[in-house]
Amino acid sequence: MVTRQVAKYILLPFLAVVLSAGSSSLLAGKKKRWQKHLAAGVAALEAKKYSTAERELSAALKIAAKKYKRKERGAKTFYYYAQVKIALKQHHKAAKNLQIAYNIRKKKLGLDNPLTVKTLVQLADQRIASGRQQFAEPLLETLLDLQTRKLGATHKRVLATMGKLAGVKADVEKNQQAVKLFKKAIKIAKKTKAKPAFIADLYERYSRLLKEMGDSKGAEYADNRSIEYRALVENENNNALVFTASSVQQKNKTTNEGTPPAVPNTRPDKVVGKTQAPGAVPGPVANKTASAGPGAKTGFTPVVTKTAPRRTITRNIAGVNGLGRTDTNGFREPPGFSLFKSKMVGQKQYNLSEVYMHSLCKDGRIRDNLQHCSVYWFRARHMTAERVKPRLTVRVIKYPDGRTARSAHDRLRASANPDTGINYEWNYLVVKGNWMYWLNAGCAYSKSSWDGLVSGFKSDIGVSSDAPAALKCRCGGGCRR
């Protein structure tokens, strides 16, 4: 009897205290190890020692996944581990970890919390970068609604999200919704006097969408607007704007005949001789007597002399002549590019449309001294597993010599944003002889798919892997040589 009472009132409470102390000590030890690994991983990440960061954060993640799975400590660990994956360009793995961090923070901190919003932004970007636009779409819609309520409809972050969402809508074949978003973003951007580079990018992507929808007039109009704002970017330092829509050949002809050059108009909201119509898109005007092109509804009237007729070819065939084609304009495709085109249409099942001297060729960064330029639009006939039809745009440009081609390439490289590249999409530019090739595609391509496409292109046109003038820009990131 006494033994039972001793066990009940003395031994059992004593054992409970001992076990509790041991458990607390064990938990404290795990917390210290987690803090140690996390701190070491974050420090290595900031020092760009990614292998060390991955090892330390992986160790912290093992502890967090068991003890802090539904707590902010766990969210913090998953978030930083995702940053390593982003740095290593492993977008799918980064999105997976960001999704876990976002779910925890949304539940524990609320959707309006800055940490939750920051995680949401990165998660949407990584979904796009991994080629999973259908998962990015609802995230961007949530982000746009949240930013609009908190910041107002005209805030620059709201505009950036709206433009990004419009591009995603186009990628998942919701074209009418994409058109509405592009129009709204462009209208607000012009009203709030957003940066010309941003407006030019909106017009460029909007034009691509209209081209795919078969609205050639609208696409031409958007192209011209994009070129105008690109010109503003090039000349914003000295507030000078010189723009002409004439071809290089006719420009040289006009100069040789002694016709004085048009006087630059540095007031893009005014037309020489009359006021621009209300609601028209601001743009530079050199002369009011010429047309901007067939069917173009433009708010400006650039100088155009008689040029070679524009040629549009739409193809949906199994093969293309691989020997190089000569146009009535005197443009002859390089045989290597004809081979690439043939494979895209025949083997890879892409539809093709092409335009000689399209308005994209008037981009101020590439138009100086060009001799010939053709733009090719490739569109996959079948959807990917993510329900997206990949699209590829290729500009093939011929210059008088290699030096001029490299100069154009260098101007494009200088215009690239260190964080978002040329236009936030996949881009590859390379010079071979006096030719420059510019490949551009949306984020529907995964990194492996894009690398394979570029590799096949280089092989077909005969460019070595260490081409001296190659410029590579990744989706959602910067550019490198």
pLDDT digits (tens, 9 = 90+) for 219-270: 888 888 888 887 777 655 444 333 333 333 443 444 344 444 443 443 333 3
Task: Kindly give the residue spans of alpha helices, DSSP state H, lying in 419-465.
Answer: 447-461
pLDDT of residue 315 exceeding 50, the answer is no
> Which has the closest alpha carbon to 97: 115, 117, 81?
81
Across residues 65-84, what is the average pLDDT? 86
Q: Is the pTM of this model over 0.75?
A: no
Across residues 376-380, what is the average pLDDT? 86
Quote the longest CA-to-CA distance of the chain. Answer: 124
**How distant, in Å, are the alpha carbons of 32, 304, 369, 373 from that of 311?**
70, 17, 21, 12
Round to whole Å and give the CA distance between 351 and 339.
15
The pLDDT assigned to 467 comes to: 61
SS3 429: strand
**How distant, in Å, are the alpha carbons of 271, 330, 393, 449 from that of 342?**
45, 21, 15, 19
| 240 in Cβ contact with 202 (< 8 Å) | no
- pLDDT tens column, 183-230: 999 999 999 988 888 898 899 889 888 888 888 888 888 888 888 887
pLDDT of residue 302 exceeding 60, the answer is no
> Averaging pLDDT over each range in 5-14, 32-41, 58-67, which range is the top one?
32-41
Question: Which residues are registered as beta bridge partners of 352?
Answer: 315, 378
Domain spans of the chain, in order of start:
22-192, 195-307, 312-480
Task: Report residue 349 as tokens.
Answer: 């099942």
pLDDT of residue 319 exceeding 60, the answer is no
Superfamily covering domain 22-192: Tetratricopeptide repeat domain (1.25.40.10)
Round to whole Å and give the CA distance between 251 and 244.
9
- pLDDT tens column, 326-349: 444 567 888 889 899 988 888 888
